[in-house]
Amino acid sequence: MRSNPFTFGRAVTGKDFVNRRKELKLVMEAMLSGQSLLLYSSRRLGKTSLLLEAKRRLQRKLDIAYVDLYPITSRQRLAEEIVGAAARSSLKGNLSKIAKGLTDLLSSLRPRAVLTHTGEIGIELVLSERDWKGSMADAFDFGEGLAKKRKRRMVIIFDEFQEIRNLDGLDMEKLMRTRFQLHEHASYVFCGSKRHVLSEMFSDESRALYKFAKPIMLGPMTPDVLKRFVRRRFAQAGGDISDEVTTRIIKTSRGSPYNVQRVCYEVWSLSRRAEDPALVDRAMDDIVEHSSPEFEQIWEQVKGYDQRRLLQVLAQEEKVSYGMDFVSEYALKTPSHVRRSLTLLRKKGLVSEEGRIADLFFSEWVKRQ
């Protein structure tokens, strides 16, 4: 049995990466020139994969550290993750070598290099509660100090950067700007999926990070790029796919590499010789069926008739209107009710900023209820 050539649910690089030549070139050029970046997009458009692919291609020229802010819930963990990621990307070697490098640059935080339960090298720091800003400043300066010492540029990627709001928000932004603007050997990439939040951080004149980074908006991928990827992956794995099936997959996917990979995974499972467009419908049926327990749980968490009704409408229309004709046709009470429900659904991450159900497959599940 041949392995499935399609991968979804995690960041991918190399042969599994759905190539974005233009965006990849922009990101790599900025990293090489020391220009900080702001990269933002809707969910599942491949921004993390794009950054990790740039990291993979530039690893011989730059030290690139990756920090995911989504699971971080304290200043302590933020400092440890930044220092740990920078140390692992730059200080190649055993535990004692990394520990020495940490001590030389971070003695104020009494760093310890430890082995985690996964066998990776982790970092433990001692932050001052009374002078937390001083402690965080030392952690923010670590990448710069390391790059200067090794005479090799460093880039630190902050994924899901909007989560900084939950870690002293404005004060943390100000501290970052204060330290980062002095760095000559390290640059930074800020990325996330909450476009309006990131826009406020970097476009509002009153915010500390105003115009600190070059913005790049990652949109849906073009059909031609996605088609080439699908055909190539089928061919490399010894399969074949017709133009009709490929076109149906791409039309269904909303330009999302995640959606393409997930549908293709199911199509490949159904047939290595994908010639009948009906395979795409069967693939969608399988995805919705397998995901039903997850979607049912999401549905249970949506409280109130107004929000559920709006989801049902969006699954059919994929675009909301505040006009009275639209409101009356779908029994949505009043325009103000629609706005309120839409705001709540966006906060829950169920509806995108463009006003459509964020998860294609959840939208299909809702449509079938």
Instruction: Please state which of the ranges 16-20, 21-25, 32-36 shows the lowest mean pLDDT.
Output: 16-20
368 and 275 share one domain: no
Report residue 304's pLDDT band, with 50, 70 and 90 as the boundaries: confident
Predicted local distance difference test score (pLDDT) of residue 101? 67
Sign of CA dihedral 155, 108, 103, 81: negative
Judged against a pLDDT cut of 80, whether residue 49 lies above it is answered with yes
Overall number of domains in the chain: 3
25 and 91 share one domain: yes
User: Domain boundary residue among 218, 235, 263?
Assistant: 218
349 within some domain: yes
The residue count for the chain:
369
φ and ψ of 196, to 5 deg = -65, -35
- Give the other-Cβ count within 10 Å of 365's Cβ: 22
Phi-psi category of residue 119: left, alpha or beta, with phi > 0 → left and psi -120 to 50 → alpha: left
- Tell me the chain's radius of gyration from C-alpha atoms: 23
Q: What are 316-349's pLDDT values in tens digits?
A: 887 777 778 778 877 888 888 888 888 899 888 8
Q: How far is CA 164 from CA 73, 89, 127, 194, 349, in A?
A: 9, 22, 18, 12, 17
182 and 48 share one domain: yes
Any idea what the CATH number is for the domain that residue 146 is in? 3.40.50.300
Q: Which of 264, 198, 215 is nearest to 237 (CA)?
A: 264
151 and 286 share one domain: no
User: Domain boundary residue among 300, 326, 348?
Assistant: 300
Predicted local distance difference test score (pLDDT) of residue 126? 75
How far apart CA 43 and CA 21 sit, in angstroms, is 20
180 touches 88 (CB < 8 A): no
58 and 161 share one domain: yes
Instruction: Please state which of the ranges 213-222, 278-287, 309-318 shows the lowest mean pLDDT.
Output: 309-318
Q: Residue 296: which domain range?
A: 221-300
Q: How far is CA 132 from CA 75, 127, 210, 236, in A?
A: 8, 6, 24, 53
55 within some domain: yes
User: Domain boundary residue among 202, 218, 234?
Assistant: 218
Q: What are 105-118's pLDDT values in tens digits?
A: 776 778 777 777 67
286 and 343 share one domain: no
Q: Which of 17, 77, 79, 21 is nearest to 48 (CA)?
A: 17
Q: Which long-range contacts (CB under 8 A, 24 or more apart) does 274-282 make?
A: 274/234, 274/239, 274/240, 274/241, 274/242, 274/245, 275/240, 275/241, 275/242, 275/244, 275/245, 276/242, 276/245, 277/242, 277/244, 277/245, 277/248, 279/245, 280/245, 280/248, 280/249, 280/252
236 within some domain: yes
Q: Reduced to 3 states, what is the DSSP secondary structure of residue 158?
A: strand
Q: What angle do CA 88, 59, 220 make, to 5 degrees?
A: 105
3 within some domain: no
Any idea what the CATH number is for the domain that residue 356 is in? 1.10.10
90 and 195 share one domain: yes
170 and 149 share one domain: yes
How far apart CA 128 and CA 217 sit, in angstroms, is 38
How far apart CA 127 and CA 135 sit, in angstroms, is 6
Any idea what the CATH number is for the domain that residue 249 is in? 1.10.8.60
For a pLDDT cut of 90, what percent of the chain falls above it?
Answer: 61
Over residues 163-180, the mean pLDDT reads 92
Name the token pair of 141.
Answer: 């300066």
77 within some domain: yes
119 and 247 share one domain: no
How far apart CA 249 and CA 281 sit, in angstroms, is 9
52 and 117 share one domain: yes
Report residue 97's pLDDT band, with 50, 70 and 90 as the boundaries: low
Judged against a pLDDT cut of 70, whether residue 119 lies above it is answered with no
355 within some domain: yes
123 within some domain: yes
Q: Reduced to 3 states, what is the DSSP secondary structure of residue 253?
A: coil
Q: Reduced to 3 states, what is the DSSP secondary structure of residue 120?
A: coil
242 touches 251 (CB < 8 A): no
Number of helices (H), then strands (E), belonging to the chain: the values are 15, 9
Whether pTM exceeds 0.85: yes
8 within some domain: no
DSSP run (H or E) holding 267: helix 257-270
Sign of CA dihedral 216, 220, 223, 229: positive
Q: What are 219-270's pLDDT values in tens digits?
A: 899 999 999 999 999 999 999 999 999 999 999 999 999 999 999 999 999 9
